[in-house]
Structure formats: structure tokens, C-alpha cells
């Protein structure tokens, strides 16, 4: 069998050679034939030159370079499209995904698993973040159509058929965590100790980005927020009807009074707010439809040492049909 590694890199010039060395050492001890597909996601710090340098000395190195920063999801997609191995391991370039775990992943793959998932523990994470994460995963697993798990990221091994499955999912808004769960297949999970990011390195996960990522997850895999709007609307209508009946009965029994200024203001502002929220939810879905209908490519290539036609755009399916892996 042949192993492919897919490594998205964005401004990783400081660690890339250290990463490559650590990875090469592990792969050497494993002893399977392999290729490493580095995807330079429009770095501005010379990562591409570093990759070209690696490719010059190591013939297992393939690289793809984007015309600008398209995001990690696009970089992973590109890597998966060009990877040719029987199994593919996706890992970060910043040494937060320990290369020592690849051997274990391969062992599980040989036992017949299609997805071998490495799940990080939360040691070293700020307590508030851990709390938010717990609450979020509880919420999303109640709602979403796919099961998502805390600590599970992109670090995993995928069999060829799992990769082909992923490549059939063409959506522009890619929420990988959900896509991995969506394709299914036999999966196994093991834990590894969290590796803290380098102290001088700012995580790209600011609170705001986490919040936005959270909404993405919620909206990408179900239409339940829309359903919620219907339920809340029905509930409020029922409450309003009940209140109206009560006011009418009170007026008949006790005569007409004119209090309720505060109630009125509260109701107007409250309902106005609710309507804006629901409009926002609808807008989010429409926004997604807008981006999907444009059918833009996920990224543009600037440079590569591979044959651009190698991309697995059309692959013959086992039954002779042609499936599009774009």
C-alpha cells in the first residue's frame, strides 16, 4: 500500500523544515512507500520557497500553491484531490499533530478501518473555552443531523474510499468536521495528549471566529433553526391569542381600563428583536445558497510540481459509471 500525507500550510516557514524532518523520520521507521502533499495556502512569508526547497531534496514531496489565502478547508480539499495514496493522513504543519501517531493510525487502517480519528484532550486549554466547547457540542449533537465530537479535528487517516466519498461532496461552504461525519464508514477514535501551540504563535481561533465557526456547524448540517422559528412563532401567536381573550373578558367583567404601557413597549421591542433574529437565520441560509449557486472553484492554483491534470476530477466508479470528484 501507499500512504499520502496532506499538509495544509499557511505562513509556516518557521516550522516547516522541522515538521518535515520529524515526519520523514517517522515515515522512515514505518517503511511504507509514501508521498507528502504540502498545500501552501497563499502564504506571505516564504513558505512556498521552503516547500520548493524541500521538493528539490526529497522526491516524496509534492506541493501545491494557491494564488491567495483560501482557508484551511480549501487547502485540505486540494490536498485530497491530488493525493494518490491508498490511505491519506491529514495533518497540520505546526507540529500540533504528532507524527508519532501515524504508525498507530496505519495499524488501525490495516485492521480494516476507513477513518482513524485522533482526538485531542483539552489539557492546557483555558477553562472557559473548554466549558464553551462542552456546551456547544451538547447543543449541536441535539440538533444537527450528524454527530460531532469535542476535540476531534482534521487529524485523521482516511481510506481511499473515504477520500473518494469526501470528494463527492462539492459544497462551497465546507465544514469538514461535519463532512467527515457525514460520509460514515467504519471509524475508530483514539486520544492523544493536546500539544499546545508555540507561545509566540497566536491561534487563529479568536472568540469571534469560534463563534462564527459554531454557527457554521449549526447551519451547515440541518434546517432546524428554521423549524425553531416556526415553533416560536406558533407559541407567540398562542400566547397573544390567550392574552387577547383575557383582556376582553376582563373588560366585560370590570369595564375598560388603560394600563399596560410597559407591557406594550416590551412586546414591541421583544417581538421586533425576535423577528430580526429569525430574519438573520433565514438570511444565513440564503447567503449559503447564494455562494453555492455561483459555483466558484474552492481555490486557484498558482504553482505546483505535480501534473495539474492529475486532479481526481473524474474517476471511473467500480461499476463503470463516471463520478465527479470535484
| Footprint of Mg ion (CB under 5 A) | 94, 96
Q: How far is the CB of 200 from Mg ion (least distance, A)?
A: 13
Indicate which of Mg ion, ligand UDP, none lies near residue 204 (CB less than 5 to 8 Å, by partner kind).
ligand UDP
For the bound state, the minimum distance from the C-beta of residue 16 to ligand UDP, rounded and expressed in Å, comes to 9
Min CB(96)–Mg ion separation in Å:
4
One residue of 41, 65, 90, 108 binding ligand UDP per CB under 6 A: 41
Reading phi first (left if > 0) and then psi (alpha if -120 to 50, else beta), residue 207 is in: alpha
Query: Three-class SS of residue 103?
Result: helix
What is residue 173's three-state secondary structure? coil
Does position 50 bind ligand UDP by CB under 6 A? no
Is residue 35 a contact point for ligand UDP (CB under 6 A)? no
Question: Which among 110-118, 127-135, 199-207, 250-258 is the span making contact with ligand UDP, rule CB under 6 A?
Answer: 199-207
The count of residues in the chain is: 326
To the nearest 10 degrees (0 to 180), the angle between helices 160-167 and 72-82 is: 120
Please list, in sequence order, all residues whose beta carbon lies within 8 angstroms of the beta carbon of residue 257, skipping any fewer than 6 positions away: 250, 251
CB of 8 to ligand UDP, least distance (A): 3
Reference 182, options 145, 157, 216; nearest CA is 145
* H, E, C per residue of 235-293: HHHHHHHHHHHHHHHHHHHHCCCCCCHHHHHHHHHHHHHHHHHHHHHHHHHHHHHHHHH
Looking at the Cβ atoms of 141 and 203, the one nearer to ligand UDP is 203
What is the separation of C-alpha 242 from the centre of its chain, rounded to a whole number of angstroms?
45
Between 76 and 281, CB nearer to ligand UDP: 76
- Count of residues near ligand UDP by CB under 6 A: 17
Does 130 interact with ligand UDP (rule: CB under 6 A)?
no
Applying the rule CB under 6 A, the residues between 98 and 127 that interact with ligand UDP are none
62 binds, among ligand UDP, Mg ion, none (CB under 5 to 8 A by kind): none
Helix (H, G, I), strand (E, B) or coil at 106: helix
- The pair phi, psi for residue 290, each rounded to 5°, is -55, -50
Among 248, 198, 281, 171, residue whose Cα is nearest residue 15? 198
To ligand UDP, the closest distance from the beta carbon of 12 in angstroms equals 5
Q: Is 95 in the site for ligand UDP (CB under 6 A)?
A: no
Q: Is 37 in the site for ligand UDP (CB under 6 A)?
A: no
Q: Per CB under 6 A, which region of 57-65, 138-146, 196-204, 266-274 contacts ligand UDP?
A: 196-204
CA gyration radius for the chain?
25
Q: For ligand UDP, what does the binding mask look like between residues 153 and 192, x meaning CB under 6 A? A: ----------------------------------------
List interacting residues with ligand UDP (CB under 6 A). 8-10, 12, 41, 69, 71-72, 75, 92-94, 96, 197, 203-205
Amino acid at each position: 500500500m501507499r500512504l499520502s500525507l496532506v499538509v495544509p500550510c499557511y505562513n509556516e516557514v518557521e516550522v516547516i523544515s522541522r515538521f518535515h524532518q520529524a515526519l520523514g523520520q517517522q515515515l522512515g521507521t514505518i517503511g511504507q512507500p509514501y508521498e507528502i502533499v504540502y498545500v501552501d495556502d497563499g502564504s506571505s512569508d516564504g513558505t512556498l520557497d521552503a516547500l520548493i526547497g524541500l521538493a528539490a531534496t526529497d522526491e516524496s514531496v509534492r506541493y501545491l500553491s494557491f494564488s491567495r489565502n483560501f482557508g484551511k478547508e480549501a487547502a485540505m480539499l486540494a490536498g485530497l484531490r491530488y493525493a494518490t495514496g491508498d490511505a491519506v493522513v491529514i495533518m497540520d504543519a505546526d507540529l500540533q499533530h504528532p507524527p508519532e501517531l501515524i504508525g498507530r493510525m496505519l495499524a488501525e487502517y490495516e485492521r480494516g478501518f476507513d477513518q482513524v480519528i485522533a482526538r485531542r484532550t483539552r489539557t492546557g486549554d483555558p477553562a472557559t473555552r473548554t466549558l464553551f466547547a462542552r456546551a456547544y457540542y451538547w447543543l449541536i449533537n441535539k440538533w444537527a443531523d450528524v454527530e460531532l465530537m469535542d476535540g476531534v479535528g482534521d487529524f485523521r487517516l482516511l481510506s481511499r474510499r473515504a477520500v473518494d466519498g469526501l470528494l463527492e461532496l462539492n459544497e462551497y461552504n465546507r465544514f469538514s468536521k461535519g463532512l467527515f461525519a457525514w460520509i460514515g464508514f467504519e471509524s475508530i477514535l483514539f486520544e492523544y495528549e493536546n500539544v499546545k501551540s508555540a507561545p509566540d504563535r497566536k491561534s487563529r481561533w479568536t472568540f469571534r471566529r469560534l463563534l462564527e465557526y459554531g454557527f457554521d456547524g449549526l447551519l451547515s448540517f440541518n434546517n432546524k433553526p428554521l423549524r425553531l422559528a416556526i415553533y416560536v412563532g406558533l407559541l407567540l401567536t398562542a400566547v397573544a391569542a390567550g392574552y387577547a381573550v383575557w383582556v376582553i373578558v376582563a373588560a366585560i367583567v370590570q369595564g375598560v381600563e388603560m394600563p399596560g404601557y410597559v407591557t406594550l413597549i416590551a412586546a414591541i421591542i421583544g417581538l421586533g428583536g425576535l423577528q430580526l433574529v429569525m430574519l438573520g437565520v433565514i438570511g444565513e441560509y440564503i447567503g449559503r445558497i447564494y455562494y453555492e449557486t455561483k459555483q466558484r472553484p474552492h481555490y486557484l492554483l498558482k504553482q505546483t510540481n505535480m501534473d495539474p491534470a492529475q486532479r481526481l476530477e473524474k474517476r471511473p466508479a467500480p461499476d463503470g459509471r463516471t463520478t465527479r470528484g470535484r
